[in-house]
Amino acid sequence: MSDNGRARRVAITGIGAITPIGLTREGLWDGIRAERSAVREVTRFDASPFRTRIAAEVNDFHAEDHIEARRVRRLDRFGQFSVAAARMAIEDSQLNLAVENCERVGAMMGSALAGVGYAEAQLANFITQGLRAVDATLALAVFGGASSCNIAIEFGVTGPNSTNAMSCASGTMAIGEALRQIRHGYADVMIAGGAEAPLAPLSYGAFALIRAMSTRNDDPARASRPFDRDRDGFVMGEAASVLVLEEWERAKSRGAHIYAELCGYGTTNDAHHMTAPLPSGAQAARAMRMALDDAHVAPGEIMYVNAHGSSTPLNDPSETLALKSVFGEHVSRLAVSGTKGFYGHALGASGAIEAAICALALEREWLPPTVNLDIADAACDLDFIPRTGRAGRPEHVMSNSFGFGGINACLVMRRAS
């Protein structure tokens, strides 16, 4: 809390992104504006044994461009994504950590699977060549906390630190919890987001086994199609996105560029099923209401929602019901899009990507489309901005993330002013 007892405002002053459609903040935005999907056939490993053989891969990422070579060797791909995206965000914010009180700077990240993909590769080495063939950094590289801890080590920040593993809501929850750290005075700056590098045979195959992923192998770029009548599952992706969050007045006083104000956060649990959402969307709706209440924003003030929009048969209709419940008659004037058709579903990183997109949409006054939405499902009858984006100047936007285990998380942002 501030000295006068009021909760402190929180600014977004930095954005870092490593995604299949772009490797920087501008790369991400240019990829969204291009309105093309990055989903292709899997090249990272042999996917031929699986029903699904497509994914959204990050290409042309070189960790050495962002991290010293000696450090790169100690990080798996998930860790490299985390640190590299954090560096981008810090540089974008123009924070000088050399002069900051780093006890007031923290890191919070989210990841569903952390370093599981790297562990798979090391297990293969163990089986074929024995223990001596296993990388000595394995134990330190694969645990979930490696994301935020490696960021802290890289940049010397000693404030609040955690990495959550709450499935596909992880990145959103990390940003929301970081908001609380600043708002209530535990930190002045937080480095927050999500990272995921799940494209490895066992991790990928596990999702194929439960038939959660699209099998549109003959047309990969059109496989992820949120809210479309012919959707048949999500498409796995890899990515990282990190935001720098900063107490509003200090950001203004140092002349920082502010993309948007992060002003609301809510999270609930369906307590229903490990993979299927609560059909009514009641707890997803409650998370949205909590975020609105936290932001002191009325439903009618939201003009755009970046939906979770996973492109699964069950999630999209339940999210539609939740939106109708929260927004009532205003829902007919609400613009909504699901952007996973661009970059796949990067699990714990997805919400952080979408938070970045929301901040940029507020600043740049353009609302991204739902690519591949050709014929809307009858149960998904809102304005989902099909195929082509549009100009728009919302004052407030919302970003939703819903994950396995029934986790629901929601953020609300306000135009910077």
Q: Which residue numbers are catalytic?
A: 168, 308, 345
Between the alpha carbon of residue 304 and those of residues 28, 193, 308, the distances in Å are 19, 21, 13
Contact assessment for residue 306 and residue 397, using Cβ atoms and an 8 Å cutoff: yes
Cα 356 from Cα 400, distance rounded (Å): 13
How far apart (Å, rounded) are the C-alpha atoms in residues 180 and 160? 11
> Helix, strand, coil proportions of the chain in percent (round to 5)?
40, 20, 40
What Cα–Cα distance (Å) separates residue 281 from each residue in 148, 323, 373, 375, 406?
A: 31, 8, 22, 22, 10
CA-CA distance, 410 to 292, in Å (whole number)?
9
Instruction: Give the phi and the psi of residue 231 in degrees, each rounded to 5.
Output: -65, 150
Largest CA distance in the chain: 64
> What is the distance between the alpha carbons of residues 107 and 84, in angstroms, rounded to a whole number?
14
Residues with Cβ within 8 Å of residue 405, at least 6 apart in sequence: 166, 167, 269, 274
- Token duo for residue 271: 């307590």
Torsion from C-alpha of 163, 76, 403, 24, nearest 10 degrees: 90
Pairing relation of β-strands 407-415 and 260-269?
Answer: antiparallel
